[in-house]
Chain A
Amino acid sequence: MAIEIEQPRVGLSKVAVSKTHGEDSPYFAGWKAYDENPYHETSNQSGVIQMGLAENQVSFDLLEKYLEEHSEASSWGKGAPGFRENALFQDYHGLKSFRQAMANFMEQIRGGRAKFDPDRIVLTAGATAANELLTFILADPGDALLIPTPYYPGFDRDLRWRTGVNIVPILCDSSNNFQITPEAMEAAYQSAESMNLKVRGILITNPSNPLGATIQRSVLELILDFAVNKNIHLVSDEIYSGSTFSSSEFISIAEILETRGYKDAERVHIVYSLSKDLGLPGFRVGTIYSYNDQVVTTARRMSSFTLISSQTQHLLACMLSNKEFSENYIKTNRERLSKRYDMIIKGLKKAGIECLKGNAGLFCWMNLSPLLEKPTRESELALWKVILNEVKLNISPGSSCHCSEPGWFRVCFANMSEQTLEIALERIHKFMEQRKRN
């Protein structure tokens, strides 16, 4: 009989075995429940409705119409001239025409109130990569970034996993609609110092995920002042900038810089992507816009690990440089999102549920704290489980967004048809009625 000799197990890295990918949290567990029993309008009407994914599906028809009418975008024309050059193009500067189109699109979204220079745009395969890349550039392993809570659960993974950088939360609460205050920023800074962590930057998401609200001008000024004061960087993730319900309510950090004559600009970096505003997360298109030359140069080089397919750059350059298309898209998309938002707020109100006043994004920030047994994280998770398993809705619990107040939930409304949203609202209504009766 052959004797089995135990082979020594070949080891993996700390990164490979770490749990920092965070996929064991409720944020992702809810997705599993959805995957196992997904709602379908005709074939599975009792399935789980996915309200935990911030995807924009309300304007696909506009994209389809453009592609139908402009075959040169998705091919290279008759005989494919330009194909060869495109297929060989792996220059980390990115296609000039595409960068120009992105700069114009970003300007249009901000109503022309800020100018963007295409040579300051660095392309990455998605905003996920952009945020990670910036973290590699701005901070060393062991350093810290300050981030206001509640924040996008993905940041725990994207900003910390491979970079070795820490996140120190800036605590915000409902007493002032979760706005960022100088006291909260200072407290976070002190907290980092007391843990011997060097703070390298502050990262804000504007419009905010999960709050679904834009940051006010006065607050942006305070945040920039704070960054200047501490001599740290300011990263503004403006991925939802085109998803504001009215064009005038979003103020970009770019506008603040413009009014200050670009003084202190070299510490500011903006992240953008087409995943939310244009509803194209599958295309993997992200950008870093930096006012700092060294950061632009370094980010470009690092972007070698995360380049955007030249085919995709070509397609989007055609689409976004079509002024008629982009203007119409921005306007129509806003209107539809606004309509959806009104629909869900009304529906929730009818069921006796209040939400934070929002003006942007693909979700609303719902307050279920009155329903909690105790104002604790455990109670919140218990309630979340009930909503997932009995009401069959996957929504995101505030604790997964590091919200310091239990009972808040993020509810996405743009990744489904209106009919499905109606069904979801009916379920919530029924659930609330039941609870009232008990």
Chain B
Amino acid sequence: MRLIVPLQGVVQGRGGLIFGSLIPCALFYFLQLYLKRHRSPKPRSNPPSPTTSSPKLAEMTRTSSRSNLFSRSIGQVRISSRATSIAKPNESPYYIGLDKATEDPYDRLSNPDGVIQLGLSENRLCFDLIEKWMSENLGHSITGRDNGELNINGIATYQPFDGTMELKLAMAGFMSHIMGGAVTFEPSQMVLTAGATPAIETLCFCLADQGNAFLVPTPYYPGFDRDVKFRTGVELIPVHCRSTDNFALSITALDQAFNQTRKHGTKIRGILLSNPANPVGNLLSREMLYAILDFAREKNIHVISDEIFAGSMYGNEEFVSMAEVLDSEGFDKNRVHIVYGLSKDLSLPGFRVGVIYSFNENVLAAARKLTRFSSVSAPTQRLLVSMLSDARFIEEYIKTNKRRLQNMHALFVAGLKGLNIRCADSSAGLYCWADMSKLISSYSEKGELELWDKLLNVGKINVTPGSACHCIEPGWFRCCFTTLAEEDIPVVLERIRKAVENTTDLLNSS
């Protein structure tokens, strides 16, 4: 309010108190009030564009844009309470960091001072192989040919919402292959979705009611908060894991969390696991899988196993799928559901291909109907059937991918070690889980976020702080290394060094 200027006149004693300043002051004040209330927007040819929101999943606080004010000042038509909470600017560092990196992306040649993206688990190591396959195989159009004639009918018309049998067969084969051939997947137990994101959400809609909850070991993938909670009204209850046992899940902790939650009157419907784990990158052992299944049977709850990183192994440990364990023992299969997708292992997140694999006929029946809201696009299905059926290509891809992952992982972890930053033991994933607790000013979330901020704004590297993953111990950061080339690693390390220059521990490299 522009009261200040007229008041100054009063304060400085210019003119008589009442006639000189108070009355003009009051008039001025009321004039502004009148103008503010009755200002009508000029008619325009089109409402202004909405604020450009972030490329990933959140907004920074730009709500004071003119166009927002415009829509707020006339007609207060309301949106739902569900939507209102989603509309709020997202303050999670996970999303803020992704934004910053996308706005000013590092490029070795054209933008060497840009932000290096280590916060997005994308695998760019084997695109050359896929590109080669594309240029050699996309000669015949994806629309297919019928007696030599181009025929779009096959992919244009309505397809089964849960995916074509051809793609299910191809996916079943691929999944089996990347898991070392230890388990076969039945196409009839598959439901294909537009990415693993709707796969998780769809399962939540099928297994839990609004107000129920899932147990989830921490630290966990920040996206689960969205996938599970946004629209379903289902809660996530963290089950904390600690660095003392390399963030391994313990049944005791599961049990404690289960009982605690039940005491508060919330019904637990299942456990949500990611195996290989994100962000730690460790695996669930065969024994642990048995123990989890026993626990689930005892409490009569479901188990969702998100195995999206199963094909991103670099360690020597053996990956064991939930499906493999169920095959061999007499466990009740009806409570187990596996999620998979091509975003990580085949580097095709844009194509939106996810899988729900379940042993429960009722869940499959419901999920199939729900895929009408999130189906895989037909041309993409056609393309992938081709690619996944090319056994020679897939064989080469899997082998090369593993080799390059191992290489990058080794280089990156060694580099961090050189800065006296150790990583948790891990065997898979596109990232490592780094312990930077010695570099934070105070052993707290606040200290961790200060370091995150320094790394992002001073060091110009985006890493994901453990608090965004609900880690109970401060100072851990997820660093994805598969978006880098080998030459970028020294750059990253130098930037970390620079950002934490005045922290003495860094100089005491052992």
Contacts and interface: CB of A to CB of B under 8 A. Distances in A.
B74 A88 contact: no
A413 to B, nearest CB: 16
B100 interface: no
A297 B50 contact: yes
Contact of A125 (B58, B158, B269, B374): B374
Interface in B356-374: 360, 362-363, 366, 369-370, 372-374
B159 to A, nearest CB: 5
A115 to B, nearest CB: 5
Nearest to B56: A91
Nearest to A290: B50
Contacts of B53: 93, 297, 300
Given A60-B153, A67-B143, A90 B349 contact: yes
Interface size class of A (residues with CB under 8 A): 35 or more
A88 B77 contact: no
Contacts of B135: 75, 78-80
B207 interface: yes
Interface in A210-233: 228, 231-233
Contact of B209 (A14, A138, A265, A305): A14
A267 B87 contact: no
B393 to A, nearest CB: 14
Given A87-B349, A297-B87, A128 B157 contact: no
B377 A311 contact: yes
Contacts of B265: none
A438 interface: no
Interface string B36-61: 00000001111101111101111100
B372 A262 contact: no
Contact of B157 (A9, A281, A302, A315): A281
A206 B130 CA distance: 44
Given A137-B82, A283-B156, A293 B68 contact: yes
B507 interface: no
Contacts of B67: 293
Nearest to B87: A298
A15 B205 contact: yes
Contacts of A83: 127, 130-131, 134
Interface in A274-298: 279-285, 291-298
Contacts of B151: 64
A279 B194 contact: no
Contacts of B134: 75-76, 80, 83
B419 interface: no
A162 B209 contact: no
Contact of B131 (A80, A294, A306): A80
Counting chain B CB atoms within 10 Å of each CB, the highest count among A14, A23, A74, A231 belongs to A74
Given A67-B150, A281-B157, A311 B380 contact: yes
B366 A67 contact: no
Contacts of B376: 284, 309
A405 interface: no
Given A87-B351, A92-B57, A284 B378 contact: yes
B379 A294 contact: no
Contact of A284 (B79, B139, B343, B375): B375
A298 B207 contact: no
B427 interface: no
Interface in A330-359: none
Contacts of B124: 84, 88
Interface stretch (B195-203, B248-256, B466-474): B195-203
Nearest to B81: A140
A291 B157 contact: no
A73 to B, nearest CB: 9
A80 B127 CA distance: 11
B226 interface: yes
B153 A10 contact: no
B435 interface: no
Nearest to B232: A162
A400 interface: no
Given A57-B157, A67-B141, A308-B377, A16 B79 contact: no
Interface string B375-391: 11111100100000000
A282 B75 contact: no
Contacts of A64: 143, 150-152
Nearest to B142: A74
A3 interface: no
B80 interface: yes
A125 B377 contact: yes
B250 to A, nearest CB: 23
B458 interface: no
Contacts of B152: 60, 63-64, 67
B77 A74 contact: no
A28 B79 CA distance: 33
A307 B81 contact: no
B335 interface: yes
A139 B45 CA distance: 29
A40 interface: no
Interface string A198-210: 0010000000000
A431 interface: no
A89 interface: yes
B131 A79 contact: yes
B375 A162 contact: no
Contacts of A233: 77
Contact of A262 (B46, B77, B302, B362): B46
19 contacts: A8-B300, A13-B207, A15-B205, A15-B366, A64-B143, A90-B349, A117-B47, A261-B43, A261-B44, A264-B75, A279-B157, A281-B156, A282-B156, A293-B67, A301-B57, A305-B201, A309-B352, A309-B376, A310-B352
Given A57-B153, A115-B45, A162-B231, 13 more contacts: A80-B138, A86-B350, A87-B130, A87-B348, A137-B83, A140-B82, A265-B47, A281-B156, A283-B156, A283-B378, A283-B379, A301-B58, A308-B377
